[in-house]
Structure 1
Amino acid sequence: MRLNQIPFIVFLILMLPGCQNSQIKPKETTVIIADSSQPAALKRPDPHSYSRHDRVKIKHLDINLEVDFKDKVLAGFVTIDYEKIKPEASQLFLDTRDLKIKRITAVNDSNNPKLIWRYGQSHELLGKQLIIDLPDDGSAIKIQYQTMPKASGLQWLSPSQTNGKQPYLFSQSQAIHARSWIPLQDTPAVRVTYDATITVDRAVKPVLSADNNQQKGVDGVYKFSMPQAIPSYLIAIAVGDITHQKISEHVSIFAAPDVVEAAAYEFSETENMITATEKYYGSYRWGQYDLLILPPSFPFGGMENPKLSHITPTVIAGDRSLDSLIAHELAHSWSGNLVTNALWQDAWLNEGFTTYIESRIVDAVHGKERMVMEATLAYEALLNSMQELPLDQQKLINPTFSIDPDDYFSAVTYDKGRFFLDWLEQQVGREVFDQFLNMYFDQFAFQSITTAAFTQYLDDNLVKKYPEKISMKQVDVWLNEPGMPDFFTPPTTSQFDKIDQLVEAWLSNELQLTTAISRAWTTQEWLHFLRALPSQLTAEQLQLLDQTFSLTQRQNSEIAHDWLLISINNQYEVAYGRLITYLTEIGRVKLIKPLYEALMAQPALNNLAANIYQKARASYHPIATSQIDTIVGHNPDVSE
């Protein structure tokens, strides 16, 4: 059982001296308990941050870093402008993790005096609290520091790991990894503007979550500015052999030279997506909306870093069938980047809203049928996910405290949140609900809010206006009850009904499989077809499926994933070569984690899993290895 799954009272007991379980052994003091009833974490404004932003809050960062690929570190300084929330406050509290702090000084016109600083509370996941005595004159604070080679928010790749001629670096700051490469207040409740000066070798180019198109470095020095205030998890950097191609008024593709053309074709609908979203929810407020196509080791599908979304290459399918991921990251420009969850416990405010807006974009650009098919797949996956989740984790407001904020992200966060908004739309009508969301985004633009703030706004601006259609009692069921409300009507599509009938006819020998039946299928129909097959198939059935549809050779990452999962569960050895290639070439957790879990569920395939992982692990991001190490029983302290 992981630490973050322990009931809260047990968590407190385990933290008392002499009570630590040998299997749950934090490297440093987990929590300083202020009293016997609750830990200090829950008395801070954000339990996942050591910052006391209710006393002193950061307003602006000036980041100056040099990228050292040889030692795999960023070195330089950050200058912090702040404001006192409490006039009597005398200290600035920051989050750090595995940072080497060298010197802290006040920035003023005299002699840059050293400031007194020290470490406070610490925890293996949360890092170390950095406490700095404020300068008497209120001047900015300059922190000289260096990252560590294994910073959790950075991945360093050699040229061989990127199939290129140059090394590559990229960051992933969400949820609390920004503190591993910048000392700051690492909480979504604090929004900052920033400037940056990045120095690199002339053979590579840096890009940040800022304006990038006109960046031409002089002697390897690049300057950036982000004038809109953003939370720390949206500060991002990437450095490598990166070129760019402008594809429309607001959109450019940034990618390796051998990828940029394919990506430009794949994501050519992005400008249309922006237009559709602006029609529904108001102006796009960020200037450029560019896409950075990262190396395959990127652990997520996408990351909504403002002005430059980070995108996995696994959605380059050649037919634009997976570009709903672009719709999702774009939607964050309204829900998440513009209006942000103030606490990670309220992550559904970011992801549920975004998944709803994604569906509206797909509807506008690709049509209702595709949107409904994707909704149906998502609903089926949500129900399957809920079967594995404890009851509290099936609620949009999860009452169980977790020390790891990543535990608040699940299909519930994304899809139950989305279906809640679907239901609200269905109750009052699309036009009324769009007006409500427009007002919501305007009201809370560039702010971070809680679920309580949203529900109050919902009550005042929708529920009370339509009491015969929505009640706060129903809203409470969505937010605080497990499972799906019985008054919700799930999405369905006749396209999937036809596929179900086809599968049934084939299994009963009433239909012969031919390529003709699937010639016009979309990716979504292929996924439903594969998921409609029985869990156990005969060797003859597997061979027939593969020979008819060339499933083992499919390059569409989503279709390949589902087929490889079937192959593992049925020990279809013909597909093992493709499985090895798949797991060693990509690092997207959504796609690789279920395959490792399936391999480890088959005792006969445990050695195969271990051998593949041994070969692939070095190219995976730390976010991926932290999860898969546990699955395959890999101990990095022993193996490395």
Structure 2
Amino acid sequence: MASSDAPAIAPVLDRPDAVDNQTFARPLEARVSHVDLDLDLDFARQTVAGTAMLDIVAKPGVDTVVLDDDGLDITAITDAAGRPLAYTVGQRVEGKGAPLTIRMGESREITVRYSAKDADAMQWLTPEQTEGGEHPFLFSQGQATLNRTWIPTQDSPGIRQTWSARITAPEDLTVVMSGLSQGEPEAVEGNRRAFRFAMDKPVAPYLIAIAAGDIVHRDLGPRTGVWAEPATIERAAREVSDVERMVDAAEKLYGPYRWGRYDMIVLPPAFPYGGMENPVMTFLTPTFIAGDKSNNGLVAHELAHSWSGNLVTNAVWGDGWLNEGVTSYFENRIVEELYGKKRAEQEAALAFANIEETLAEVGADAPGTALHQQSDGGDLVGSAIAYDKGSYFLRTVESIVGRERFDAWLRQWFDNHAFQPATSAMLLEDMQRNLVRNPAEAERLMLREWIYEPGLPSNVARPDPAAFASVDAAVRAYANSGAIPAGYDGWTSAERQRFLDNIPKTRSAAQLAALDDALGLSATGNNEELFLWLELALANRYEPAVPQAEQFLARVGRAKFVRPLFAVLMGEGEWGQPIARRIYAETRDSYHAVTRAGVDRVIGTGG
């Protein structure tokens, strides 16, 4: 899609359900429309420093703009003519930062000169934390509200902004960002190079992202490619070699890919998430690489965010399911297109099991199991709700109205709200207006119950029981007689995960040893399966698994794996707690702030 097709300034919603309580900004009075960064990366000091020039759109007579600031060291704020502007940094609110209030007068272009050290969005890695071991590395993770720790702007998903950047870094490092590269890097003073980027589509500010390190690129198709460290690039390129086909499949389903290129970067394993859908530059954990593309649903998921999340974005974090649930549904459709219905149904069945496990743990009436959350989304009881319940909502609607009608509706939703924020109420209104045909169908769909009520509505389209029929039979056989399945090596990864997640949770050391010996669990190259093995082994105080768990937790920073393993150890009293505390004392500093925050709560420490 050409840049002229995107709105120059995206709207800010003027409705009560779009008020973001996680920002200090008052965007209906004065809002940021464009950010231009000029920053230096200082790896020795682990600091970014430079300027952010902001374009402001304000109502007539408004002479003040409020930004979000969490720990920025501001040295000056000036107008377009370089004249100083008065500003104040208000009282800090835990988890939110502080309001940066600027008296801009009639100026609608302001420049903030600042630096950011110890920014929670940034992770600075030593050479020893990289695959190559020779150069340092940096990456950012801004979702949900961490970008205010390194960028002075209005850090709210409902205040979409275009942006540009000039970034300087040591000459032996390469910089990538979540915008399109603007020409070749330029040599600058001090043995450094300058890289330029631009995002001419208005995006939610959490989607501004950066990475820098010893990385190289491989083309995968006419508009797709992957970045990684030299030691990782070949494995990474093989694993994601289907991505051009994924883009084609996604476009066939729900319309054109509107961002130009689709590149990915496989980061060092300290990255706290499986993936992050930063526009034109998806960030990926290396832990998804299994050698057989069995975890490529993750890649499909991040690609699908190019429509649901990046193109149409939740205006507030209490509606985060609009990003993740819709994307999870879309992901499964891409998987079906590329890898067949059997794999898609198996992965959907695993997602449904996540919902059931969560509801069994917290209760079907727990408020945090509603898709829409009244506050910031922090009340959600886990990803099984925003991701999996959200996906099953759309699967259920599709099952009732039919795939053809549903696909036409979802495509028009993306088209009609492209580059704009949205809320749960807006999606409900759109469904009622453009999808539902009559009152009887509306009653069958139970749309409001799905979005606003806890638990699973009675009309849920449950997964095909045949998806795992043979695996579930093997689980029963193992539970009843200890029979270890002979065909395990030939199973899909989803089947192996289903088996490991459903066998009896209490196992003796001899039983665990027999399982490991027969199935090669501790030697698997699939980290999803390795995690399930370690979780089972540690929960049964299986001593031979402790060294492997220690190595895994020292190598991997993905919160999905790290936090539960520490939780298992902490739940094992005098046996597990000393192990957990010893390992965490050695690994805490290597984790991103996102992962540290979760494990701190588990361990009961702030460091």
- Which residue of 567, 570, 574 corresponds with 2:544? 574
- Give distance in 1, aligned partners of 2:389 and 2:317: 16
Residue number in structure 2 paired with 1:562: 532
**Change in CA separation of 1:439 and 1:505 when aligned onto 2, cut-off 3 Å:** same
Give the alignment partner of residue 336 of structure 1, picking from 309, 313, 324: 309
What does residue range 521-536 of structure 1 map to in structure 2 within 5 Å? 521-536=491-506
The answer (yes or no) to whether the contact 1:45–1:53 under 8 Å persists in 2 is no
Q: Determine the structure 2 residue equivalent to 1:122.
A: 92
- Check if 1:611 corresponds to 2:597: no
In the other structure, the counterpart of 2:510 is 540
Residue 410 of structure 1 and its aligned partner are, at CA, apart by 2.6
Whether 2:367 is the aligned partner of 1:395: answer no
Which deviates further from its counterpart, 622-631 or 337-346? 622-631
Q: Deviations over 1:147-170 (max 9, x none)?
A: 02x211111111011132111111
- The residue type paired with residue 556 of structure 2 is I
Q: Give the match for residue 325 of structure 1.
A: 298
**Residue 428 to residue 314, structure 1, CA distance change in 2 (3 Å):** same
- 2:125 equivalent to 1:157: yes
Is contact 2:354–2:388 with CA below 8 Å preserved after alignment? no
Does the 8 Å CA contact 2:123/2:592 hold for their aligned counterparts? yes
Distance 1:445 1:534 in 2: 47
Q: Contact between 1:459 and 1:472, CA under 8 Å: does it hold in 2?
A: no
- Counterpart code for 1:181: W
Displacement of 1:44 in angstroms is: 9.6
For residues 215 and 353 of structure 1, do their structure 2 counterparts lie closer, same or farther at Cα, with a shift above 3 Å needed? farther
Structure 2 counterparts to residues 71-82 of structure 1, below 5 A: 71-82=45-56
Equivalent pair of 2:215/2:227 in contact (CA under 8 Å): yes
CA distance in 2 between counterparts of 1:45 and 1:232 reads: 16
For the 8 Å contact 1:241–1:256, the answer to whether it is kept is yes
The one-letter amino acid paired with 1:197 is: R
Partner of 2:250: 277
Distance 1:213 1:471, change over 3 A: farther
Matches within 5 A, 1:404-483: 405=378, 410-463=383-436, 465-471=437-443, 474-483=446-455
Deviations 1:315-344 (A, max 9, x none): 000000000000000000000100000011
CA distance in 2, matches of 1:270, 1:308: 13
**Cα offset, 1:87, TM superposition:** 1.4
- Is 1:211 equivalent to 2:180 in the alignment? yes
3-state SS of the aligned residue for 1:364? helix
Query: Are the equivalent residues in 2 in contact too, given 1:345–1:408 (CA < 8 A)?
Result: no
Contact 2:478 2:503 survives alignment (8 Å) = no
Aligned to 1:518: 488
Find 1:594's aligned residue among 546, 561, 564: 564
Q: 1:428 touches 1:466 (CA, 8 Å); kept in 2?
A: no
Q: Tell me the amino acid that sits aligned with residue 80 of structure 2.
A: V
Given that 1:194 and 1:226 are in contact with CA atoms closer than 8 Å, whether structure 2 keeps it comes out as yes
For residues 114-193 of structure 1, the aligned pairs below 5 Å read 114-136=84-106, 138-148=107-117, 150-163=118-131, 164-193=133-162
Measure the CA separation in 2 of the matches of 1:186 and 1:579: 37
Q: Deviations over 1:548-604 (max 9, x none)?
A: 111112121000000001101111212222111111100100011111111010011
Q: Does structure 2 conserve the Cα–Cα contact (< 8 Å) formed by 1:50 and 1:121? A: no
Q: Secondary structure at the match of 2:463?
A: coil
**For residue 582 of structure 2, what is the amino acid of its counterpart?**
N
Deviation at 1:184, TM superposition (A): 0.2
Report if aligned partners of 2:312, 2:419 keep a CA contact under 8 Å in 1.
yes
Cα distance in structure 1, aligned partners of 2:470 and 2:17: 55
> Are 2:270 and 1:288 aligned?
no
- Specify which of 41, 48, 68 is matched with residue 42 of structure 2: 68
Residue 554 of structure 2 is matched in structure 1 by 584
Q: Distance in 2 between matches of 1:97 and 1:583?
A: 29
* Alpha-carbon separation, structure 1, partners of 2:483 and 2:20: 59
Report the CA distance between 1:512 and its aligned residue: 4.6
Comparing 176-185 and 404-413, the one that deviates more? 404-413
Give the structure-1-normalised TM-score: 0.89
Partner-residue secondary structure (3-state), 2:454: coil
Instruction: Please give the root-mean-square deviation of Cα atoms over the aligned residues, in Å.
Output: 1.8
Instruction: Out of 378-387 and 340-349, give the one that drifted further.
Output: 378-387
Q: 1:493 Cα shift?
A: 4.0
- Cα deviation for residue 635 of structure 1 reads 3.3
Runs of 5+ consecutive residues of structure 1 not aligned to the other structure: 1-41
What is the CA-CA distance between 1:121 and the residue it aligns to?
Answer: 4.5
Shift of residue 62, structure 1, vs aligned partner:
0.8
Structure 2 match to 1:504: 476
Give the 3 Å change call, closer, same or farther, for CA 539–299 of structure 1 in structure 2.
Answer: same
User: Does the aligned pair in 1 maintain the 2:48–2:115 contact within 8 Å?
Assistant: yes
User: Which residue number corresponds to residue 9 of structure 2?
Assistant: none
- The question of whether the paired residues in 2 share the 8 Å contact of 1:67 and 1:200 is answered with yes
Q: Is the 8 A contact 2:236 2:289 kept in 1?
A: yes
What is the distance in 1 between the residues matched to 2:314 and 2:108? 30
Matched, 1:53 2:23: no
Secondary structure of 2:110's aligned partner: strand
Give me the whole-angstrom Cα distance separating, in 2, the residues matched to 1:602 and 1:199: 48
Pairwise CA distance, 1:214? 5.2
Partner letter of residue 165 of structure 1? E
CA distance in 2, matches of 1:378, 1:535: 20
User: Aligned partner of 2:371: which letter?
Assistant: L
Assess if the C-alpha contact under 8 Å between 1:117 and 1:133 holds in 2. yes
With 470-479 and 451-460 compared, the bigger mean Cα shift is at: 470-479
Q: Does the CA-based 8 Å contact 2:489-2:519 persist in structure 1?
A: no
Closer/same/farther in 2, CA of residues 124 and 505 from structure 1, 3 Å limit: closer
Moved over 4 A (4+): 404-409
Q: Which runs of 5+ in 2 are unaligned?
A: 1-15
SS in 1 for 2:446: helix
Give how far 1:473 is off. 7.5
Cα separation, 2, equivalents of 1:119 and 1:213? 34
Q: How does 1:195-234 map to 2 (within 5 A)?
A: 195-212=164-181, 215-219=184-188, 220-234=193-207
Name the CA distance, whole Å, in 1 between partners of 2:333 and 2:178. Answer: 25
1:124 corresponds to which letter in structure 2? E
1:199-224 superposed Cα distances (whole Å, 9 cap, x missing partner): 11101111100124954343311111
Distance 1:43 1:534 in 2: 45
Shift of 1:182: 0.5
SS in structure 1 of the partner of residue 547 of structure 2: helix
Question: Residues 553 and 578 of structure 1 are in contact (CA less than 8 Å); yes or no, is this contact kept in structure 2?
Answer: no
SS of residue matched to 2:66: strand
- Residue 576 of structure 1 aligns to which amino acid in structure 2? V
Residue identity in the other structure for 2:508: T
| Residues 464-488 of structure 1, C-alpha deviations (whole Å, 9 max, x = no match) | x244333387111111221111121
Corresponding residue of 1:7: none
Q: CA deviation at 1:540?
A: 2.3
Residue 13 of structure 2 corresponds to: none
